[in-house]
Structure 1
Amino acid sequence: MRPSKRDEPVAVQPFTPAERAAVYRAIETRRDVRDQFLADPLPDDLLERLLGAAHSAPSVGFMQPWSFIVIRDPQVLAGAHRAFQRANEEAAALFSGERQERYRTLKLEGILKAPVSLCVTCDLDRAGSVVLGRTHNPRMDVYSTVCAVQNLWLAARAEGVGVGWVSIFHDADVRALLGIPERIEIVAWLCLGFVDALYEEPELAVKGWRQRLPLEDLVFADRWGQRR
């Protein structure tokens, strides 16, 4: 059988300087949004573009393990907010003294303010029990799903849409709220909405929680701990 055109790689060229700059700008100015969401609804076609960007993410063994639950129901969002509040009180108690006081000043979610939430899940069985590339690392499906989250986040930045990742939940609360089967792993709860302002630096850096680490401290040559 003769190979089809689809079986052959096609020529590619580097992006133009303007295109390249746009990609790096999206990466460098992406922010985790908590409180800057506008009330304007997200148009369906825009949401479809963002989901399409997520679905274009790389996945080990081309397993595409992700699914997306789009949440607009006020009652469901209110239930998610209550689940966050319970977990957040538990989280605050894990810190002490000034650190706890600072933690309590941070806004760590935008569930009721963002017009749309998105729950991103991972189906560990989608590609079968033996998956190319997952044979020796069983977490590759989850890592692939996180790539889908990042794709969506960068596309959202280009569209003027803010994204906030809410991670302070009990898994069981979200599972019960959304009817997610036990075999499906919950990876991310994302809040989405238009924004007209973003912090120039990550909000946790601005608020003094942590600062960005120097890149040179994190890059080694040829073996762990060996500086370049």
Structure 2
Amino acid sequence: MDGTAGGADGPHFDEGFRHGLGQLLAWRRDVRHFRPDPLPPGLLDELLALAQLAPSVGNAQPWRFVTVDSPALRAALADHADAEALRAEAALVADAARLDLYRSLKLHGLREAPGVLAVFSDDGPEAGHGLGIATMPEALAYSTVMAIHTLWLAARTRGIGLGWVSIVDPAAVRAMLDLPDRWRMIALLCIGYPLAASDVPELERRGWQGRQDWRGNVVAR
């Protein structure tokens, strides 16, 4: 009998489950290369329902998922990301070798991925009644990031990959999608079946940045 059972009435997560969870975390990837296959009907709804189970400050559930289905909007977002990527080169121009590597990277899959989600955090949600945000209002955005991570893991269990596109201007994206000002943009996500699976991040494989030892990120006081 495993000695790590949950509460008296809770589920029991055995060693096999814990091993599988470790594999899930190791194989979660930020995907840039997608197959064109569409997602099965109802699958995105199923994934978003699981994302709703994420923890949130005051149980405010401030995440707002916007499905971008319009081909014109998707093309505009892709063009915008390409323009922002060119502007980002200025920060890397002093290092010629890294600039060449940057230019060779595929920074988004907005044109290829079968699905695109824009994720916003509502800075004034009615749910939660303000609990927990009087001194840390940014906890609403952190909660939305938790929902994205929950979605990411749930998608990976179904062979679906996500790609977080960060080379965009949040205000410009919100304006393109005609959304309320109090909705703070957190992420633009590509979603679909990866062209290939790997347990090593692409940026590590390409020599941009490897995974650091976790001990280097722990400080004792």
TM over 0.5: yes
User: 1:216 matched to which residue of 2?
Assistant: 215
Secondary structure in structure 2 of the residue aligned to 1:83: helix
Q: 1:69: how far off? A: 0.7
Structure 1 unaligned regions, length at least 5:
1-8, 224-228
Question: Within 2, Cα distance between the matches of 1:98 and 1:65?
Answer: 41
Within 5 Å, which residues of 2 pair with 1:113-132? Answer: 113-127=112-126, 131-132=130-131
Q: 1:71: how far off? A: 1.5
Structure 2 unaligned regions, length at least 5:
1-6
Within 5 Å, which residues of 2 pair with 1:18-33? Answer: 18-33=16-31
Structure 1 residues 10 and 177: CA distance shift in structure 2, 3 A = farther
Per-residue deviation, residues 95-134 of structure 1 (Å, max 9, x unmatched): 0211111110110100011000001111111137962111
Within 5 Å, which residues of 2 pair with 1:141-220? Answer: 141-195=140-194, 197-220=196-219
* Percent identity (aligned): 39
Match of 2:91 among 94, 107, 130: 94
Secondary structure in structure 1 of the residue aligned to 2:152: helix
User: 1:110 matched to which residue of 2?
Assistant: 109
User: 1:34 matched to which residue of 2?
Assistant: 32
Q: 1:195: how far off? A: 2.5
Secondary structure in structure 1 of the residue aligned to 2:44: helix
Matched-pair contact (CA < 8 Å) for 2:57–2:128: no
Provide the aligned C-alpha RMSD in A.
1.7
Match for 1:199: what amino acid?
Answer: S
TM norm structure 1: 0.88
Match for 2:203: what amino acid?
Answer: L
Match for 2:35: what amino acid?
Answer: L
Per-residue deviation, residues 166-189 of structure 1 (Å, max 9, x unmatched): 010112221121111211101110
- Equivalent residue pairs, number: 213
Find runs of 4+ consecutive structure 1 residues off by over 4 angstroms.
none
